[in-house]
Amino acid sequence: MLTVDFSRFPLAPGDRVLDLGCGAGRHAFECYRRGARVVALDQNGEEIREVAKWFAAMKEAGEAPEGATATAMEGDALALPFPDESFDVVIISEVMEHIPDDKGVLAEMVRVLKPGGRIAITVPRYGPEKVCWALSDAYHEVEGGHIRIYKADELVGKVREAGLKPYGSHHAHALHSPYWWLKCAFGVDNDKALPVRAYHKLLVWDIMKKPLATRLAEQALNPLIGKSFVVYATKPHLPRLAEADGVAAE
């Protein structure tokens, strides 16, 4: 289940991609399939080991085009172990709501992104997330849990302040909002409640079968109750010194 829409976020074979806070690796795997040179980074060593196993399995199965590469590694989002301007693309999905110094993370992403490079940021959407917080303290008051809820204009403003140029946004996963509301209402660790189990089966069926009816329903509902808010931005090219000083370049 992808949150980033690659029809709005073009990826070319050979692009060097950083999936920051990759988690289970869903976006990293998609980029690898599209021929990118992928680095999947997360602070959770157990998840990184699983991502590395999946990368190896994908290579063995021939799922990635020739020239594509994939590396999984542990790392700190506030101190990325890469030189300046290392990546053509950076993805950070459902991560920034966990990190106290979100401006520091943005600064690091901008540092390692090449001029002209693209960045995709996804966070839980304000409205559905407020419902979850209202229904359950356990949903967010856990170690490593969500520490803030972004309003759309707040996140876009921080993206601009970091020196990026937003070019698009949308909402995603409307069908998942009711699932999390049910989870919060019946207990976030209670997977045995009948409504939770029934809705989970619906989501699994939808992900596996991709029926037209649910695709259309989600498309219609995303602007209203989409679980995630997605922002796309580019890193502007800096003007050459002579041009910046108002002198014609030779």
The SS3 of residue 68 is: coil
**Confidence check: pLDDT of 242 > 90:** no
More reliable by pLDDT, 179 or 141: 179
pLDDT at 246 over 50: no
Q: Which residues contact 160 (CB under 8 A, 6 or more apart)?
A: 166
How many C-beta atoms surround the C-beta of residue 144 within 10 A? 9
Lowest mean pLDDT among 66-70, 91-95, 231-235, 238-242: 238-242
Look at residue 176 and tell me whether its pLDDT is greater than 60. Answer: yes
**Could you give the CA distance from residue 154 to residue 160 in angstroms, rounded to a whole number?**
10
Domain boundaries, the chain: 76-173+227-235
Give the per-residue pLDDT at 240.
54
Mean pLDDT of the chain: 94
Q: What is the pTM of this model?
A: 0.92
- What are the φ/ψ torsions at residue 4 (nearest 5 degrees)? -75, 135
Give the whole-angstrom CA distance, residue 217 versus residue 23. 28
Q: What is the mean pLDDT of residues 124-148?
A: 93
For tokens 């919060």, the residue is 184
* Span 93-115, average pLDDT: 97
Of the chain, the percentage scoring pLDDT greater than 90 comes to 90
User: What are the percentages of helix, strand and coil residues in the chain, rounded to 5?
Assistant: 40, 20, 40
Class level of CATH domain 76-173+227-235: alpha beta
248 pLDDT tier (thresholds 50, 70, 90): very low
Confidence of residue 84 (pLDDT cuts 50, 70, 90): very high
Q: For the residues 43-51, what does the mean pLDDT come to?
A: 97
Contact in structure between 174 and 221 (CB atoms under 8 Å): yes
Residue 143 has pLDDT above 90, yes or no: no
| C-alpha Rg value of the chain to the nearest Å | 19
Query: What's at 133, amino acid-wise?
Result: W
- Across 154-186, b (16+ Cβ under 10 Å) vs e yields ebbebbeebebebeebbbbbbbbbbbbbbbbbb
pLDDT of residue 249: 36
Mean pLDDT, to the nearest integer, of 213-224?
96
What pLDDT, on the 0 to 100 scale, is given for residue 86? 98
